[in-house]
Amino acid sequence: RAYTAAAVYARAPVLDVYRVAKPPAFDGRFSGFGPPAARLDGPADNSGVDFYAAYDDKFLYVGYAAAQM
């Protein structure tokens, strides 16, 4: 069982998610989230998806921005 847990942990990505003092604004700009938690590159130079995440006392906020998909 320890081997299986170690193998799963080795493959699992780690995302940095930061606490926010106030909920981020949902304005399409993701300015309240801080830097993207992860990026998935697409097939072209300017394509891909940025994933954003933040949390406060009550909620976990997640969002994504796709470029030229």
**pLDDT tens per residue, range 8-50:** 777 777 788 889 999 998 888 888 888 888 888 877 777 788 8
Report the DSSP beta bridge partners of residue 65: 50
> What's the alpha-carbon Rg for the chain, to the nearest Å?
15
pLDDT value at 69 more than 70 = no
Residue 31 makes CB contacts below 8 A (sequence gap 6+) with 24, 25
Answer whether residue 68 shows pLDDT above 60: yes
| pTM exceeding 0.85 | no
Q: Which residues partner with 41 through β-bridges?
A: 48
